[in-house]
Amino acid sequence: MTYTTGAAEDYLKTIYAHTEWQTELITPSALAVRLGVAPSSVTEMVKKLAAAGLITHVPYGPLALTDAGRQRATDVVRRHRLIETWLVGEMGYAWDEVHDEAEVLEHSISDRLLEAINARLGFPAYDPHGDPIPLADGTVALAPAVLLIEAAVGSRGTLLRISDRDPAVLRELAANLIGPGTSFTLAAPLTIELADGRSLSVTPAAATAIWVTEPETIDH
């Protein structure tokens, strides 16, 4: 028995996304907060997903994807990120506008159209926010990264990905022409120097949403 409803896919995708850039497993209560649903709803869905062999779970414990669950999750993530890339690259959307559209389309677009979009875009490896687009077999290439807020002052690196959870952060960065691939030096806490000579302050919200390549410490 396999659950492939849109709701089930959202659960699997959220469980996957929680551990994509860190190792701590998500708890049912945290999953409820992330999805904006009642804890009782999470309890019922978790039972269904566990019965279907898509997650492992012990009462009150964290949730982990099985191999089958991870494959299903990366299928949905692949759809989501390809759609976001298509909306930005072909349809004129800004990167802070695509998440909600992709949330809807990821459940309804056909495999044939998805692969046509992939080919049209030139088989992109990353979405507009710097997140890797899984291959059809579920393979995901993740580069070593740390949060900007955890980087040491006096280090330099490259912005790798920006969480799309807060559209205001995306708009803030876009207004300053900052995105994946931007090189920086961390001149002070929450202050970055860019290759073009600009020195910019970033908000704490932005610093906890930006992942950077493992920074290199500069000797002064």
Residue 178 tokens, joined: 């900052």
| Domain 145-217, CATH class in plain words | mainly beta
- CATH architecture assignment, domain 6-65: Orthogonal Bundle (1.10)
Compare 215 and 148 and report the one with higher pLDDT.
148
Reported as a single tens digit per residue, the pLDDT across 26-72 is: 999 999 999 999 999 999 999 999 999 999 988 889 999 999 999 99
- Would you call 158 helix, strand, or coil by DSSP? strand
**Domain ranges within the chain, ordered by starting residue:** 6-65, 145-217
**CA distance linking residue 66 with residue 72, whole number of Å:** 10
Model confidence pLDDT, tens digit, residues 72-89: 999 999 999 999 999 999
